[in-house]
Amino acid sequence: MAAKLSSPFAGGKRYRTFNSYLREIFGCRVHKVSLDAGFTCPNRDGTCGTGGCIYCDNDGFSYNTARGPAPLAEQLEAGLHHMRRRFGAEKFIAYFQAFSSTYAPPDRLKETYDIIRRYPEIVGLFISTRPDCLDEAALALLASYREQYLTWLEVGLQSASDSTLKRINRGHSVADFREAVSRAADHGLPVCAHVILGLPGESEKEMLATAGLLAGLKVQGVKIHLLHILTGTLLAKQFAEQPFHLLGPEEYAGLAADFLERLPPGVVVQRVAVDVPRNRLVGPLWCTDKRAAVAAVDRELERRGSCQGALFGDAP
């Protein structure tokens, strides 16, 4: 059990939030603008698999993908306008989110990323991708933006269990992720790892082992997702044929708190809950309220008198 601790993080939070991290750097409100540059994925085009991960549905989390990707300039300008009006944001991060945004020849990648140079209010470049889509040319290109922009890689891991990765059809191994983090570090590129809690067949011990892996690899950031099922995915078909356990709100809050306790205090927690489209959701039905999910994690850490890093270095 973690010792009783007061909150050591900005804003009274018990973990290091993404917003506080950005304020430390820029001193103002900074927001991401999500973009779809029309890339695909080696786990969809037959290079390492077809159909993608069993839960994959980019329409479910990317507005631009759901409506069909508009020209990048149009996406950016609409996103900048929306974030200014809704959140009062002053500076912005271009977030190439959809599919694997390093999965193209270097000249196409450069032409795509260079759109940010037209917008002086953009201060960051974040690239979402897979560990098997990070060759030396892509890494060197991304590193070239570091002098002018806050540049991060967001790399999908989901689980530190190879058996789980095979079960969800990820198409890469844990070793691939380890290598990607190491190579990114060689280029001075921070990595935010994406993980999912509640994957089918995965035990609590295996979920917390993922936190241990990330702590050992010294990743700079993490996004923690709850497994949710959207209509039209292979996961939805599997769930209909053979239902499996979906995490409840208290169960998820407890696991997320367990996970955060095992991360180093300096890791930037970009997310502990995600927006879920109500009209596509199979389950769990409670997860459509993102604010409530975040508040539940906060309450659980408060109840424990604990915080991010409280169990860092301990066994899962």
Which residue in 148, 170, 149 sits closest to 158, CA to CA? 170
The residue assigned the tokens 């010792």 is: 3
> What are the CA-CA distances from residue 220 to residues 5, 82, 180, 181, 263 (Å)?
23, 28, 13, 10, 10
pLDDT at 82: 95
pLDDT digits (tens, 9 = 90+) for 179-224: 999 999 999 999 999 999 999 999 999 999 999 999 999 999 999 9
pLDDT at 293: 96
Out of 2.30.30.100, 3.40.630.30, 3.80.30.30, 3.10.20.30, the CATH code matching 10-304 is: 3.80.30.30
Burial of 294 per CB tally in 10 Å (0-12, 13-18, 19+): middle
Strand partners, 50: 45
Weakly modelled stretches of the chain, pLDDT under 50: 1-3, 60-61, 64-66
What is the pTM (predicted TM-score) of this model? Answer: 0.92
Q: Is the peptide bond before 106 cis (omega within 30 degrees of 0)?
A: no
pLDDT at 249: 97
The residues spanned by each domain of the chain are: 10-304
**Judging by DSSP bridges, how do beta strands 281-283 and 229-230 pair with one another?**
antiparallel
The number of beta carbons lying within 10 Å of the beta carbon of residue 266 is 13
pLDDT at 51: 77
The mean pLDDT value of the chain amounts to 92
Q: What are the start-end ranges of the E strands in the chain?
A: 30-35, 91-96, 122-129, 150-158, 191-197, 221-226, 229-230, 268-271, 281-283
